[in-house]
Amino acid sequence: MAAILPPLERVRNIGIIAHIDAGKTTCTERILYYTGRTHRIGNVDDGNTVTDWMEQERERGITITAASITAEWNEHLINLIDTPGHIDFTAEVQRSLRVLDGGVVVFDAVQGVEPQSETVWRQADRYNVPRLCFINKMDRVGADFERSVGMIRERLGANPVVLQLPVGAEADFVGAVDLIEMQMITWGDQLGARRVYEDVPADMQTKAESAREDLIETVAECDDELLALFSEEKAPTHEQLRAGIRRATIGNLINPVYCGTALRNKGIQPVLDGVIDFLPSPLDVPPVIGSNPENGAAVERVADDSGPLSALVFKIVSDPYVGRLAYFRVYSGKIEAGAKVQNTTRGRRERIGRVIRMYADRREEVEEVTAGDIAATLGLKNTFTGETLSDAKQPIVLETIEFPEPVISVAVEPKTAGDQDKLGVALQKLAEEDPTFRVRADEDTGQTIISGMGELHLEVLIDRMMREFRVHANVGRPRVAYHESIRKAVEKVECRHVKQSGGRGQFAHVVLKMEPGEAGSGITFSNEIVGGVIPKEFIRPVEQGVRNAAGTGVLAGYPVTDVDITLYDGSFHDVDSSEMAFQIAGAMAFRQGVSRAQPVLLEPMMKVEVVVPEEYMGDILGELSSRRASIGGMDARPGGAQSIDAVVPLAEMFGYATVLRSRTQGRGVFSMEFAHYAQVPDLVAQVVVKGMG
């Protein structure tokens, strides 16, 4: 029986995003409770939350995988995704934001804007996602609402608009003044289910009136209808003000700000109201733009059930009970159970199996999912993250999802022959789920090398491999994922591949030009062949040969990156030339060229923030300097703490957590995320190359 869905204007696709430990999962648990999805409130510390359902999540008290939930509030359907806060799982945030229409960004009222807050904010900027802000943990010692709002403005370059003023702070926090209705909201029971509305306290009246004027003025600057009222000195009605805030929020001109404490069950319902009132429905966002796979022409699709199908798969999960689940967002048309669809990214037909609406780890089967909605399906055997499903007669390819490259690797060796087979299955399924997880075989040692975004990322994947797939294996020490590149241009690299061994021979002749590319550009290949000196059908094999060869560098066997290759001359033989011959010639020419272009070793540099009590500053700065850190700046934090910003090579950060704990008696914390690749100093490079020999 198909569920009765509300009209599109009453659907919200939103994500909860934040720095680790800001309280995302705690907020989500309250949302589930207040919307009637659960009948008890789960707690992260107790390991009984709905969205953190994996064993690894409950043990560590962190979110690892984005969990999708459907809930109802005020006759609206909310598809909500609770995303991880730890930088190692940033891909989960990225792919969630790609398919969401709005976001709630949670901030810790003590810490304000933290490093990962900046990262997720930039990711949301990239996809133009409108956001509300929720300043959480107002009950904690050191909570500072105004400071947090100031940091949102300064560090994120945002335009925060305060819709609530906190009443009390720290242990005395009791509620908030609603600046639209000009009423105080408190919560009349321990579980926070009942809101109590009262007059604004007399001692806050002046402050509240001033804040409301600031609110109207700020919104009027972004909204013509309110500006007209403001210029005529007319006070807007509550409805007019709400409408103006909604238009400005959807236009990404402002970010409404709420406050509360999710753990103490205060402040969540107003945020839910804000999601309904101010964040966009699928009808409020611009039509999705894709391309026609046959001719490359731009194609536009509006959110309409009756239109041709266009949907994006944003997540693959290997569910131990039901099998391979593909999460998707429908942009136009509908997806029906049992229907045949076209995977336009791969040019293959697929059959939709069961269609499932997700409630974290629970699920409800439905007959169809229509435009603007998010769900999952079983049965897609050859569809992966970032691929498009569409109508075969009206095909479209939607923009895929770009993911960062992994920066850390470990070697994995199965203990028995039986484990070897299980290891292959496990790694395949984990790689399908996680686009930032890479698997390769080391040609020299025969070891399986797995790569990921950080130590925690690999630790979780190895734990899952052993628990879920029962693989017994020896795991090596983490290794840095170095890259290789070049320092100078080589104008001419000529290579002939000629082989005569009786019968038909092999002949290929290529001439390349090689130049250092822009940082982060990877391998770019250009074809400047004129006059057919190399036939068109052999161009792609040359490029394939180049890219295959780039997987193994000449210094220490690390992948080569940031190189521009131009194929501009060569020759062929009518009989002996083949695709294979040109692929081999392309690979040989690339290796020769890299050897002549002053090859250089690159290492991943990490943006690190360390927060320590002031008395340990000297010690910690010295420790960072010994790890080749470049100190960027320092900032005072509440409670006599200092924050240190630095850029440090990843190779120097192994074991830092233990050192920091011992140097600060457990009071120091740090976070890090990938910044960029940089050249390894010559002395260090010699050690790395020698270690690979």
pLDDT tens, position by position, 530-572: 988 999 999 999 999 999 999 889 998 889 999 999 999 999 9
Total residue length of the chain: 693
The two three-digit tokens of residue 548, written as one number: 């295959």
Please say whether the beta carbons of 568 and 526 come within 8 A. no
CB neighbour list of residue 588: distance below 8 Å, 6 or more residues apart? 495, 497, 545, 549
Assigned token pair, 623: 């420790």
Distance CA 495, CA 510 (A): 6
pLDDT (tens digit, 9 = 90+) per residue, 299-356? 999 999 899 999 998 888 877 667 788 889 999 999 999 999 999 999 999 999 999 8
d(CA 467, CA 105): 33
Tokens 């960062």 found at? 404
Q: How far apart are the first and last CA of the chain?
A: 64
- Please name every residue paired with 602 in a beta bridge, in sequence order, or none if there are none: 483, 679
Spatial contact of 511 and 533, defined as CB atoms under 8 Å apart:
no
Distance, in Å, from the CA atom of 337 to the CA atom of 319, rounded to the nearest integer, reads 19
**CA pair distance 294, 344, nearest whole angstrom:** 10
- 69-106: buried (b, 16+ CB within 10 Å) or exposed (e) per residue? bbbebeebbbbbbbbbbbbbbbbbbbbbbbbbbbbbbb
Sign of the torsion angle spanned by Cα atoms 65, 66, 71, 74? positive
Among 89, 22, 18, 85, residue whose Cα is nearest residue 464: 89
The DSSP result for 142-177, as a single string, is: T--HHHHHHHHHHHH---EEE-EEEES-GGG--EEE
pLDDT < 50 stretches in the chain: 1-2, 45-54, 56-66, 85
Q: What CA–CA distance (Å, rounded) separates 167 from 207?
A: 11
Q: How far is CA 81 from CA 30, 375, 457, in A?
A: 14, 11, 20
Other CB atoms within 10 Å distance of the CB of residue 306:
9
Residue 60's pLDDT is what?
41
Residue whose pair of structure tokens reads 């791969």 in the numeric block: 346
How is residue 136 written in tokens?
Answer: 């959480």
Single pTM value for the model: 0.73
Q: Give the list of residues 6+ apart from residue 132 with CB closer than 8 angstroms, or none.
A: 102, 103, 104, 105, 249, 255, 256, 257, 258, 271, 274, 275, 278, 279
Backbone angles phi, psi at 226, to 5 degrees: -70, -35
pLDDT at position 489 is 96
Q: Which two tokens stand for residue 571?
A: 């020759």
Is residue 453 within 8 Å of 436, Cβ to Cβ? yes
Q: What angle do CA 310, 315, 320 make, to 5 degrees?
A: 125
Beta strands in 391-505 (DSSP E): 397-398, 408-414, 438-441, 448-452, 473-475, 479-480, 483-486, 490-499
Residue 451: partners with Cβ closer than 8 Å, 6 or more residues away: 406, 407, 408, 409, 437, 438, 439, 440, 458, 481
- Is the CB of residue 606 less than 8 Å from the CB of residue 676? no
